[in-house]
Amino acid sequence: MIARLLAPAGSLEMAQAAVDQGADIIYVGPLGFSRRPYESEMSDDAIREAATYARSRGAELRVVLNTFPTPYDFGRFVDKALRYAADGASGFIVTDVGLMCALRREIPDTVLHVSIGSGISNLADAAFYRDAGADVIILPYRWDVAEIESVRRASDIGLETFLFETVQTGKLCPGKCIMSSYLRFRDWKEVEGSRDFHGSANRGAKECYRVCQANWEFGAVGADPVEIKLRRDARLMLAQLPAFVAAGVSCFKLSGRERPVGMIRDLVRFYRRAIDEVAAGATDLGHHAAELAELRGRWVREKAKRVDTLMDRAASYVA
Amino acid sequence: MFELSTDVGNLKELREGDFSAYDAIYLGDFSCPEYPNNFSSHAELLEAGLQHVHANGQKAYLRLYAVPGNDDLDWVGDVIDTALQLPFDALEVHNLGVLRMLRERGCTAPIHLGVFGNLYTHETAKVLKDHGVTRVYPNPELSLDEVRYIAEHADIEVLVPVHGKIPLVISETCFILEHSEEGAEGGCGEGSCSYQCTQEHWLKRGRDDGSRADWSLKDTGRMTLSGKDLCMVEHGERLAGMGLKHFYVHNKGEAPGYAAAVGHIYRDALARAFAGEAAGDFAPALDTLAGLAREGLCNGYYFEGAGQRYIGRDR
C-alpha cells in the first residue's frame, strides 16, 4: 500500500500550496467547527473552491468536523457534512462517535477519519470505531512501531499518524482535556457564526489556550515548586517514517493549519519527497538531516511565539 | 427519590471511612492502576469491596481503568472477567474499547459511561445505549440545561456531580513521578511507585506582580483536577425541579473525612429539596464546604460560564 500525505489547509492559499507541492489529501476546517481560531478556518465558499482545486489536480479534500456538537445543534453538523460532500469533500475528520455513526448512515460512501480528539488509546478502541463505521484512525502520540503492528493485526481499519516523533512522557491528552474552558470562555466572534451556547475549545467556539504548553509552577504543598510545562513540544519526525510505513501506516498527517503558508509549502514538499523515497524502497532517510534540522528550527521558532501568549490573552476573557 | 454516590479507591479507605450518607459507591480509582490496592486494578479485592458495600445496603459500581493502552488490555480483561462473576450493580467505563470488551464478554450488568467518555449529546447517548450503556456522566463542560436535555431526549440516566473537584485531564503516565527523582531514573510505569501523590500537588500560574492570572489546578499524578470545588448545595431545588435524580460527590484526591462531611450536607440538602421543604439557611453548610476547599468554590459549567465561576452567596 502506498502511504498518502495529508496536509493542512488553514486558508485557500494554503490549500493550493499544499496541493501544488504534492499533498494527496488536504484538510480544511469550517468556521466554528474545527477547534482552531477563525483565522485558520475557512468559509463554506472557500471550502468549495478548495475542493474544486484539489479535485482538478488529482487530490482529495477532507473536512474537519472535530468539535463536539451540543445537544441542540447535532443536526447542524450532519447538514453541513451533507453540503460539503455535495461540494466535493471526499471525507471527514470526526471526534464524536455519535456524529460518526450519523455520517456513516447519511453519507455511506464517504471516508471517515477518527480525530485525535477521540482519545483512542488501544486496539479495542480501534475495533469499536471500525464497528461504528470509521475508515481510518489517527494513532496516539505515544505509539511506536510495536503498537502499530499490534493494531494492524487486530483490525483492517486504516492507520494514520501525525508527522511527529513519538513521545512517552507528559500530559498528552487529546480528547481528555477541558483545562482551557475551566479557566475562561471567550465569546463567539461574528466571523465564527452565530451559535446559541457558550463555547469551549472542544465545542469549537474558542481556541484552546494551550494550557499544557504554558509555564506553570508545580510541586507538593510546602515544597519549592519547579517552573514547568505539562508536556514536551512536538518534534517533526523523519527517521521513524520507513518503519511506520512497513508497519502499516497508510496516511501521514502534517499538522499546522495555523502556520505560515510558506512553512507548510516547504514541509509538504519535504515530506512528499521522503514518502516517495520510502515507497521506492528507502529505509534510511538520514541524508535529509540538514533540511530536517532547518525545518524543525522554523517549526519551533513559530511555536515559541505562542507559548504563554494564548494563556495571557485568555485572562481577559469572561469567567 | 434520588441517588447520591461517591468514589472510594481501595478496601482500606472503604473500611475506615464513613460513607453512610451515600446510596451508592463507585469502587476504584479509574485514573491510576498503581494506586495502592486500587479496586480498578486488583481483581482479587473486588469481592470483599462489593460485600462491604452491599452489607451497608448500598449499591456497588465498579470503575474500570479509563485510559488503557494495549499492554493494559489483558489485566483489564481479567478484572472484567472477575467482576462479571460478581453481583455488581453496574460497571463504569470511560474507554470505548473497554465498552466493546464488556459486550464481547456478554456483560448483562448495567454499564455507566464515566466522565472521560466524552458524552456531549443525546444522539451519542443513544448510540451508546445500543452498546449497553444505561447511565452517562456528561462532559463537565455542559450546562445543566444541556444535561437535562440529554436525560430527556435519550431517555437515559445522567449522573450529575454536585460537589468536589472537576476532572479536567487524564493521562496515561504520572506527572508527579515523571518529575521526581525516581521518574528521572526511569521508574515510571515499572512498579516502583512510592505514592508521592499522597501529598497534595498543585499547578499554579499567578505572579505576585499580577502579570499572570492567579490560576490553580490540583494534580493527582495521572489526572488534573479543578483547583476549586464544584458546589451545588444552594441549587438542590433547581436540580430536583429539573427531574435529575442521580447525584455524585467527587472524592478522589481528597483527605479522609471529606466524603463524609460533604455527603451528609448534600444528603440533607437534597432530601429537603426533593421533599419540597424550605431550604433554610445555607450559610453553615457553605462555611463547612468552603473550609474543605483550599482554592474556593465554583459551579463548574452548569450556569453557562467557564468552570471557575460561582453563583450564589459570595464565596
For residue range B51-61, list pLDDT tens digits in order: 999 999 999 99
- Average pLDDT over chain B reads 94
Q: Looking at CA atoms only, how far is residue A1 from chain B in angstroms? A: 25
Chain B contact present for A128, CB below 8 A: yes
Domain residue ranges of chain B, discontinuous segments joined by +: 3-165+228-298, 173-221
Nearest CA in chain B to A202: B141
Cell digits of residue A273: 519527497
DSSP state of A30: B
Measured between beta carbons, the chain A residues lying within 8 angstroms of B199 are: 220-221
User: What confidence category does residue B190 fall into, taking pLDDT thresholds of 50, 70 and 90?
Assistant: low
- DSSP notation for A110-168: SEEEEPGGG---SHHHHHHHHHTT-SEEEPPTT--HHHHHHHHHH---EEEEESB----
Q: Looking at CA atoms only, how far is residue A122 from chain B in angstroms? A: 5
Choose among B70, B143, B178: nearest Cβ to A122: B70
Chain B contact present for A98, CB below 8 A: yes
Number of neighbours of residue B210 by Cβ within 10 angstroms: 8
Measured between beta carbons, the chain B residues lying within 8 angstroms of A176 are: 67, 116, 169-171
pLDDT tens string A222-231: 999 999 889 8
Contacts of A75 (CB under 8 A, 6+ apart): none
Number of neighbours of residue B44 by Cβ within 10 angstroms: 10
Choose among A226, A314, A317: nearest Cβ to B179: A226
pLDDT tens string A129-178: 999 999 999 999 889 899 999 999 888 999 999 999 888 888 878 889 99
For CA atoms B226, B232, B238, B239, give the dihedral sign.
positive
Choose among B96, B166, B169: nearest Cβ to A176: B169
Nearest CA in chain B to A215: B205
Q: Which of A100, A169, A177, A310 to mutate to test the interface with B (most CBs of B within 10 A)?
A: A169
Cβ pair B202:A218 closer than 8 A: yes
For residues B113 and B129, give the distance between their C-alpha atoms in angstroms, rounded to a whole number: 10
Q: Looking at CA atoms only, how far is residue B272 from chain A in angstroms? A: 30
Cβ pair B203:A230 closer than 8 A: yes
pLDDT tens string A256-271: 999 999 999 999 999 9
Chain B contact present for A207, CB below 8 A: no
Identify the three-state secondary structure at position A294: helix
pLDDT at B313: 65
For residues B207 and A312, give the distance between their C-alpha atoms in angstroms, rounded to a whole number: 12
Cβ pair B96:A97 closer than 8 A: yes
Q: Looking at CA atoms only, how far is residue A36 from chain B in angstroms? A: 18
- Average pLDDT over chain A reads 92
Cell digits of residue B218: 490540583
Q: Which of B32, B199, B205 to mutate to test the interface with A (most CBs of A within 10 A)?
A: B205
Within a 13 Å sphere around the CA of A161, how many CA atoms are in the beta-carbon half?
A: 29
Instruction: Calculate the alpha carbon distances from B284 to B47, B231, B232, B252 in Å.
Output: 39, 14, 14, 24
Chain B contact present for A213, CB below 8 A: no
Q: Specify the CATH number of the domain A4-171+233-284.
A: 3.20.20.70
Which uninterrupted H or E stretch holds A299? helix A289-304
Instruction: Calculate the alpha carbon distances from A93 to A110, A112, A136, B267 in Å.
Output: 11, 6, 9, 44
User: What confidence category does residue A196 fall into, taking pLDDT thresholds of 50, 70 and 90?
Assistant: low
- List all residues of chain A from 282 to 311 with a beta carbon under 8 Å from chain B: 311
Q: Looking at CA atoms only, how far is residue A226 from chain B in angstroms? A: 9
Chain B contact present for A70, CB below 8 A: yes
The three-point CA angle B312-B135-A122 to 5° equals 110
Cβ pair B97:A98 closer than 8 A: no
Q: Note the pTM of the prediction, 2 decimals.
A: 0.95
Within a 13 Å sphere around the CA of A280, how many CA atoms are in the beta-carbon half?
A: 8
Chain B contact present for A118, CB below 8 A: yes
Chain B contact present for A184, CB below 8 A: yes
Cell digits of residue B81: 472477567
Look-up of cell digits 507541492: A21
Q: Specify the CATH number of the domain B3-165+228-298.
A: 3.20.20.60
pLDDT at B208: 79
Q: Which of A76, A176, A208, A213 to mutate to test the interface with B (most CBs of B within 10 A)?
A: A176
Q: Strands B133-136, B223-231: parallel, antiparallel or unpaired by DSSP?
A: unpaired
Cβ pair A173:B169 closer than 8 A: yes
What ipTM was assigned to the predicted interfaces of this complex? 0.94
Cβ pair A218:B307 closer than 8 A: no
User: What confidence category does residue A233 fall into, taking pLDDT thresholds of 50, 70 and 90?
Assistant: confident
Nearest CA in chain A to B126: A98
- List all residues of chain A from 32 to 51 with a beta carbon under 8 Å from chain B: none
Instruction: Write the single-letter amino acid at B100.
Output: R
Instruction: Calculate the alpha carbon distances from A62 to A81, A88, B87, B193, B194 in Å.
Output: 10, 9, 47, 44, 47
Number of neighbours of residue B108 by Cβ within 10 angstroms: 9
Chain B contact present for A149, CB below 8 A: no
Cβ pair A318:B226 closer than 8 A: no
Residue A165: exposure state from Cβ atoms within 10 A (0-12, 13-18, ≥19): middle
Look-up of cell digits 503492528: A149
Query: 3-state SS of chain B?
Result: CCEEEEEECCHHHHHHCCCCCCCEEEECCCCCCCCCCCHHHCHHHHHHHHHHHHHCCCEEEEECCCCCCHHHHHHHHHHHHHHHCCCCCEEEECCHHHHHHHHHCCCCCCEEECHHHCCCCHHHHHHHHCCCEEEECCCCCCCHHHHHHHHHHHCCEEEEEEEEEEEEEECCCCHHHHCCHHHHCCCCCCCCCCCHHHCCEEEECCCCCCCCCCCEEEECCCEEEEEEEEECHHHHHHHHHCCCCEEEECCCCCCCCHHHHHHHHHHHHHHHHHHCCCCCCCHHHHHHHHHHCCCCEECCCCCCCCCCCCCCCCC
pLDDT at A171: 82
Cβ pair B139:A218 closer than 8 A: no
pLDDT at A1: 67
pLDDT tens string B83-130: 999 999 999 999 999 999 999 999 999 999 999 999 999 999 999 999
User: What confidence category does residue B185 fall into, taking pLDDT thresholds of 50, 70 and 90?
Assistant: low
Q: Percentage of residues in chain A with pLDDT exceeding 70?
A: 97
Q: Looking at CA atoms only, how far is residue A174 from chain B in angstroms? A: 9
Look-up of cell digits 501525525: A162
Measured between beta carbons, the chain A residues lying within 8 angstroms of B179 are: 218, 226, 228
For residues B119 and A98, give the distance between their C-alpha atoms in angstroms, rounded to a whole number: 9
For residues A88 and A62, give the distance between their C-alpha atoms in angstroms, rounded to a whole number: 9
For residues A196 and A198, give the distance between their C-alpha atoms in angstroms, rounded to a whole number: 7
Measured between beta carbons, the chain B residues lying within 8 angstroms of A125 are: 95-97, 100
Measured between beta carbons, the chain B residues lying within 8 angstroms of A203 are: 120, 141
Q: Which of B79, B94, B121 to mutate to test the interface with A (most CBs of A within 10 A)?
A: B121
Contacts of A233 (CB under 8 A, 6+ apart): A213, A300, A303
User: What confidence category does residue A198 fall into, taking pLDDT thresholds of 50, 70 and 90?
Assistant: low
Contact B251, B13 (CB under 8 A): no
pLDDT tens string B211-235: 788 899 999 999 999 999 999 999 9
Measured between beta carbons, the chain B residues lying within 8 angstroms of A179 are: 168-169, 217, 224
Cβ pair B97:A126 closer than 8 A: yes
pLDDT at B180: 82
For residues A262 and A17, give the distance between their C-alpha atoms in angstroms, rounded to a whole number: 8
Q: Assign residue B273 a region: left if phi > 0, alpha if psi is -120 to 50, beta otherwise?
A: alpha
Backbone angles phi, psi at B216, to 5 degrees: -135, 140
Does the structure show a pLDDT above 90 at A315?
no
